[in-house]
């Protein structure tokens, strides 16, 4: 087998098409790495600047509201508090939702739901194959190169006329077939590993278990494509037929299947749009302006009696900050069911995306890589939870002051809640059985056909 592998390596080395394909893959990978570097840098710079921006805002507010003796509600109304989701080291190679969903949210004391979904959120997990990150290059382009290198390992001989001689020499084509595919797989895997090594240097990726798991997923993710290439190569009767089959398989698995899965899951688990939540919440807010204020205030106090304090009533004719924030709370409460349903359906859809991703190897690889990099929907939902939790902190800090009609003391901004980056969530256990199972299902059917069939 060693000698066969050497011969196939020599033949591949002499093939200009192979050099173009592998070189193109490497060049695309380099571009993706440098784009990933710029992408991550931009996010890190933005996150690093948050404290400075917040400090500037605090100084302005001290001057504007405290010195002028403005009500604390007024101060809180114009204060924005940054909550961010720091990128994991692997986010530069698996952007996931980080360029679609917000990674920084400036939270105010107002109703939360409208703030969470102002940017809107779909579920592009299965369709987001267009980001030019290293995940795209190694999860989509590398399989394409493997298909192009491997689809004709026998049909080319058939076209050339060397197949009968080859078969007569070898007695059977199995070992030659295996050696040819193995060499091509090894070359694509080698380019993938090289790109990963470049990424570790350029992006300063740590040599951690997560990083190695990421690479391992890439390599295992190529196995189903090896199975597909083998299946096509074993059965096609001509180069034109094998190329057509390879391109059809690629288009179906990379474009059609993810789109169909997305459509199916969208139908099965309709997710109310974030915008709808925002609009509903705003509507409740707007309606409240025309409703009896005390009734609104009472309904708030019924849920949160701790803020009753010395002021259990609000005037119907005059504006008060207590009533205003209570109105926001009521609006949040009114859409609570919708918000819970929204998150539940998003999670369900994401879980089903992960379960069904094995129907599309690139979606499967991308899903696994983004999960490892902490850039998938789970990570974004965690960010939303973080924002929600910080919003609670804000309320706990400001509501006692506002509902007690207290003026903020000088230097009050120093005691304002500050968001601190959460410790990264531990990655889920690595499960590689879907791609391995897919490859194991395909490879047994990839037996080279008899020469004259």
Residues near another protein (CB under 8 A) are 3-4, 7, 10-11, 14-15, 157, 160-162, 164-171, 176, 450-452
C-beta closer to another protein: residue 21 or 254: 21
Q: Which is nearer to another protein, 166 or 241 (CB)?
A: 166
Non-local CB neighbours of 410 within 8 Å, separated by 6+ positions: 62, 66
Tell me which DSSP letter residue 363 carries: H
Facing residues of 118 across strands? none
> C-beta of 158: minimal distance to another protein in Å?
10
Q: How far is the CB of 235 from another protein (least distance, A)?
A: 17
122 is written with which tokens? 């779909």
Nearer to another protein, 61 or 235 (CB): 235
| β-pair partners for 104 | 84
Q: In whole angstroms, how close is the CB of 26 to another protein at the nearest point?
A: 21
Shortest distance (Å) from residue 164 CB to another protein = 6
Two structure tokens written together for 11 = 């033949």
* Alpha-carbon span 71 to 311, nearest angstrom: 15
Report the residue number, 133 or 157, with the smaller CB distance to another protein.
Answer: 157
Q: Which is nearer to another protein, 13 or 303 (CB)?
A: 13
Using the CB atoms, write b or e for 259-281: b if 16+ within 10 Å: eebbeebeeebebbebeebbebb
User: Which long-range CB contacts under 8 A does 427-434 form with residues at least 24 apart?
Assistant: 427/210, 427/213, 427/371, 427/372, 427/374, 428/371, 430/213, 430/216, 430/217, 430/372, 432/216, 432/217, 432/220, 434/357, 434/358, 434/364
Nearest to 114 by CA among 341, 314, 273: 273
Cβ 184 to another protein shortest distance, Å: 15
Tell me, what DSSP letter sits at residue 138? I
Cα gap 213→215, rounded to integer Å: 5
Which is nearer to another protein, 179 or 384 (by Cβ)?
179
Closest separation in Å from C-beta 165 to another protein: 6
Closer Cβ to another protein, 2 or 68, answer by number? 2
Q: Which is nearer to another protein, 130 or 161 (CB)?
A: 161
Residue 309: φ, ψ to 5°:
50, -150
CA distance 279 to 332: 12
Residue 346 beta carbon to another protein: minimum distance, rounded to whole angstroms: 53
CB of 358 to another protein, least distance (A): 36
């Amino acid at each position: 087998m060693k000698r066969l592998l050497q011969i196939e390596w020599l033949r591949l080395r002499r093939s200009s098409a192979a050099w173009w394909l592998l070189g193109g893959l490497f060049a695309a990978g380099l571009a993706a790495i440098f784009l990933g570097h710029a992408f991550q840098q931009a996010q890190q710079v933005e996150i690093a600047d948050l404290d400075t921006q917040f400090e500037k805002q605090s100084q302005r507010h001290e001057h504007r509201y405290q010195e002028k003796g403005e009500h604390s509600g007024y101060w809180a109304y114009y204060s924005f508090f940054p909550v961010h989701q720091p990128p994991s080291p692997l986010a530069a190679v698996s952007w996931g939702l980080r360029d679609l969903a917000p990674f920084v949210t400036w939270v105010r004391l107002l109703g939360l739901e409208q703030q969470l979904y102002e940017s809107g959120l779909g579920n592009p997990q299965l369709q987001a194959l267009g980001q030019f990150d290293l995940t795209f290059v190694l999860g989509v382009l590398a399989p394409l190169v493997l298909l192009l290198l491997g689809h004709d390992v026998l049909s080319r001989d058939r076209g050339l006329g060397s197949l009968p001689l080859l078969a007569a020499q070898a007695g059977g084509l199995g070992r030659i077939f295996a050696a040819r595919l193995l060499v091509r797989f090894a070359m694509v895997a080698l380019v993938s590993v090289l790109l990963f090594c470049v990424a570790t240097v350029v992006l300063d990726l740590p040599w951690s278990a997560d990083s190695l798991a990421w690479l391992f997923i890439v390599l295992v993710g190529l196995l189903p494509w090896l199975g597909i290439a083998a299946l096509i190569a074993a059965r096609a009767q001509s180069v034109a037929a094998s190329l057509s089959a390879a391109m059809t398989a690629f288009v179906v698995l990379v474009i059609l299947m993810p789109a169909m899965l997305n459509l199916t899951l969208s139908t099965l688990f309709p997710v109310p749009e974030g915008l709808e939540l925002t609009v509903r919440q705003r509507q409740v807010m707007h309606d409240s302006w025309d409703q009896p204020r005390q009734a609104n205030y009472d309904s708030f106090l019924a849920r949160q009696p701790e803020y009753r304090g010395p002021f259990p009533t609000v005037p119907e004719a005059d504006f008060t900050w207590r009533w205003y924030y209570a109105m926001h709370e009521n609006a949040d409460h009114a859409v609570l069911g919708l918000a819970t349903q929204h998150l539940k359906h998003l999670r369900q859809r994401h879980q089903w995306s992960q379960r069904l991703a094995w129907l599309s190897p690139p979606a499967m690889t991308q899903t696994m890589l983004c999960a490892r990099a902490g850039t998938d929907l789970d990570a974004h939902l965690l960010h939303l939870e973080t924002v929600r939790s910080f919003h609670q902190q804000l309320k706990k800090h400001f509501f006692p002051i506002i509902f007690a009609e207290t003026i903020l003391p000088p230097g009050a901004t120093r005691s304002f809640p500050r968001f601190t980056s959460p410790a990264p969530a531990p990655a889920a256990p690595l499960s590689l059985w879907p791609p391995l199972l897919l490859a194991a299902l395909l490879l047994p059917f990839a037996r080279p056909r008899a020469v004259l069939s």
